[in-house]
A = this chain, B = another copy of it.
Amino acid sequence: MNSHELFHTLHQLSRQLTNSLNEALKPLGLYGSQWSVIFVLQTKGSLTQKELCDYLFVEAPPMTRTIQRLVKQGYVRQVQGKDKREKLIQLTDLALQLYPEWEKTVFETNQTLLKHLPETSQEELFHLQKSWLQQLL
């Protein structure tokens, strides 16, 4: 193996998975980046945009864009914090109501994508990726 192949394969894999997720979310009117924000908000509760950026390792400008789309769709609210620079982002009742269906769709898509990868391989892959990523950050 040479390093080119390793990087190339990882890149391909990431793209294929992203495309599959977006395809699955399309009928729900959501994009992958929106889902990632919704998922974090649902599991961690209200967060500021900065906290969302830090958690998802995304720069502020794309986060602004994603959140503005979510606001427009009525899935998220921006509330000014005590620190007036901050905006607290929280899911709306509409989003909480639709969440179970979204979660189900994403989960089933993930399961389909993982179908032919044995569970031990999934664990191994996750472990390797995570330790590599942590070394890079």
Q: Which A residues have a C-beta under 8 Å from some C-beta of B?
A: 1, 3-18, 20-21, 36, 39, 57, 106-107, 110-111, 113-114, 116-117, 121-126, 128-133, 135-137
Cα distance A7–B122 when bound, in Å? 10
Contacts A9-B130, A129-B9 known; A122 to B57 CB distance under 8 Å? no
Q: Is B12's CB under 8 angstroms from A133's CB?
A: yes
Instruction: Say how far A104's CB is from chain B's closest CB, in angstroms.
Output: 13
Query: Can you pick out 28 interface pairs between chain A and chain B where the beta carbons lie within 8 Å of each other?
Result: A1-B123, A1-B126, A3-B110, A3-B122, A4-B39, A4-B106, A5-B126, A6-B114, A6-B122, A7-B17, A7-B21, A8-B36, A9-B126, A10-B125, A11-B17, A11-B18, A12-B133, A13-B129, A13-B133, A13-B136, A15-B57, A16-B57, A17-B136, A113-B136, A116-B135, A121-B131, A121-B132, A125-B128
